[in-house]
Amino acid sequence: MTLDAVRPYTDELLTSALVRVCRHYLLSMDTLGRHFLGRPKWHPRFIGIPAIAPMAEILGVSASELLWKHTVFPYATAYVDEATYGRAIKSALSDVEPASNGTLAQNAILSIEYWRFCHRCVTEDMARHGESYWRRSHNLPGVWVCSTHHVYLNTTDLSVALASRAPLTLPHEADGKPIRVRRPLPVLTQISQRSALLINRTQGAPPRWSADLYRTIAQESGWLAADAELNAEALSKLISMKCGRAYISNLGLAERVSSHGGWSALMMRPGTKVPFVPLKHVVLTSVLRTPKTDREPGLVHRSKGPSGSDVRQLDRFYGSQAERLLRRVLANGETGLTTDGFLRRIGCAGAYHHRGEALPLLRQVVLRFRASPASVRPLAPGAKLFRNECWPKG
């Protein structure tokens, strides 16, 4: 017997399509796994990246189409490096259960406990198809709002962890309570729309991201000036204000507010190599894309600087700040920093460019920075400039 009557709908989660297969042929998930997928001990999760091939056959689509259009794979891999992507795609399209993609799927199930749906999508689906289905874009981390209808989603009591034991329920039969009842904050709709773009992204390895991207976005929206140093504390507060405290704490995005900042400042630190979950990219982009109004303070760090305008005092102040920063950067193993980016972090890029000649201590540190592995183009120790400045003749 072949099962080929059910085809997945647009944006339908794989598990949802399998629920409809079971309903159509009066099978349990266990029976489907055991007899039709050759998996006696099958425990599908609601959201996951399982071995695709046998399921693709049942649903009458290619393995690649099933992976890209009906699993969270495109979202989970949206910010990984090329090597991780290569392993993930190979593993997902193989015939054996891809153990390694469990970690990757974590990117897509962060903070999601129960299946979610949009009551307006359900009404439309019932009119169009006579049944409803579970969508990928409603069941992504941090998505509280339907990206089409801009209303809060409904959350059910069906646990994402136990899809195999869950009743074969579709959204129109599920008990659902809206996540919130008031009108959603505009940024939450932005977050849903950006997440929907990621889940529908072009097939293939994702483009590389860098902190420069977020600095550019912040400049375009008026939050940051080109040479300015970021105020990490103001960024944390801005994210919390735009998204609402309940959202931030529910998703575990709260930061210890301090001058060093948390994950958001780290994402904007030039040369950062730390990997971040897609949710953090989506939240930061959505907040920074909101245009700054005149009433809002912006994200520029205003260094108190040395008192008075004595240039020697200025030199001592920034010289020691740069010295400390250089030690920190080297200890962290940061690389790829430009001189501008380095100086921006202590708020003296402008002073250095305009009055560098009068700041010998700062110049010394900058040269040592440029000769260090942290610099984007390390200066060779034999270079004339380096030699003359660090070991002046006589």
Per CB under 5 A, residues contacting Zn ion are 118, 120-121, 146, 148-149
The residue (of 150 and 316) whose beta carbon lies closer to Zn ion is 150
Would you say 67 and 52 are in contact if contact means Cβ atoms under 8 Å apart?
yes
Q: Which residues, at least 6 apart from 116, have a Cβ–Cβ distance to it below 8 Å? A: 138, 139, 143, 153, 154, 155, 156, 176, 179
Q: Which residues, at least 6 apart from 386, have a Cβ–Cβ distance to it below 8 Å? A: 367, 370, 371, 379, 380
Q: Cα separation of 213 and 272, whole Å?
A: 12
Would you say 55 and 67 are in contact if contact means Cβ atoms under 8 Å apart?
no
The residue (of 149 and 316) whose beta carbon lies closer to Zn ion is 149
Q: Cα separation of 380 and 370, whole Å?
A: 9
CB of 75 to Zn ion, least distance (A): 18
Q: Cα separation of 127 and 101, whole Å?
A: 37
CB of 277 to Zn ion, least distance (A): 25
Q: How does DSSP assign 58-103, residue by residue?
A: HHTS-HHHHHHHHSSHHHHTTT--HHHHHHHHHHHTSSS--TTHHH
Torsion of CA 373, 378, 384, 388, to 10 degrees: -40
The residue (of 118 and 349) whose beta carbon lies closer to Zn ion is 118
The residue (of 50 and 142) whose beta carbon lies closer to Zn ion is 142
CB of 188 to Zn ion, least distance (A): 14
CB of 117 to Zn ion, least distance (A): 8
Nearest partner of 115 among 40, 71, 44, 175, judged by Cα: 175
- Give the CA distances from residue 204 to residues 73, 80, 342, in Å, rounded to whole numbers and listed in that order: 11, 11, 34
The residue (of 104 and 118) whose beta carbon lies closer to Zn ion is 118
The residue (of 72 and 118) whose beta carbon lies closer to Zn ion is 118
Give SS3 for 292.
coil
CB of 121 to Zn ion, least distance (A): 4
CB of 173 to Zn ion, least distance (A): 17
The residue (of 29 and 121) whose beta carbon lies closer to Zn ion is 121
CB of 184 to Zn ion, least distance (A): 12
